[in-house]
Amino acid sequence: MKKELVVRALENGTVIDHIPADKLFQIVNILHLDTISDQITIGNNLDSNKLGKKGVIKISGKYIDPQELNKIALIAPNARINIIKDYQVVEKNECVMPDEVYEILQCVNPMCITNKQNVTTHFHIVNKEDRTVKCHYCERYIKAEDLILK
């Protein structure tokens, strides 16, 4: 007997799809989903032709703001963001890594001015493929695995 899991359709909110399975819980943390009282559906290690295994997050009543989108793009640059209104997909967006980001990363250089004074962090994305960034102030290059999200 074949069993099927039925997940209720989303009336209004956001669906984040094509999240690499090993990045799903970072996205959960970025979006502070543990503090949301609306319905959330999380699926992980789902079969994907593109990724092998993927994660999906459906969030009722929430829309991703630009800062959250930039954080997601740094962690899962190939994720897709679908905006749902009245049970219909009204917008489909692929995460696009910006050329620069403000306030969302912390510099790993302990001597950087952003770690010594109240200065807004600013990073340039120098390689979008491997997600390498450079601090605008101290010019330290930071690899994807060393990124610290604020």
pLDDT, tens only, 111-133: 999 999 999 999 999 999 999 99
Task: Indicate the pLDDT class of residue 98, thresholds 50, 70 and 90.
Answer: very high
Write down the pLDDT at residue 85. Answer: 96
* Beta bridge partners of residue 14, listed in sequence order: 59, 83
Task: Indicate the pLDDT class of residue 1, thresholds 50, 70 and 90.
Answer: low
The mean pLDDT of 41-48, rounded to a whole number, is: 91
pLDDT, tens only, 45-94: 988 888 889 999 999 999 999 899 999 999 998 899 999 999 999 999 88
Q: Rounded distance, CA 54 to CA 93, Å? A: 17
Q: Rounded distance, CA 54 to CA 133, Å? A: 25
In the chain, the percentage of residues whose pLDDT exceeds 70 is 95
Q: What is the mean pLDDT of the chain?
A: 92
Write down the pLDDT at residue 50. Answer: 82
**Is the pLDDT reported for residue 6 higher than 70?**
no
Write down the pLDDT at residue 7. Answer: 63
| Per-residue DSSP letter, 10 | P
Q: Rounded distance, CA 46 to CA 137, Å? A: 41
**Is the pLDDT reported for residue 136 higher than 70?**
yes
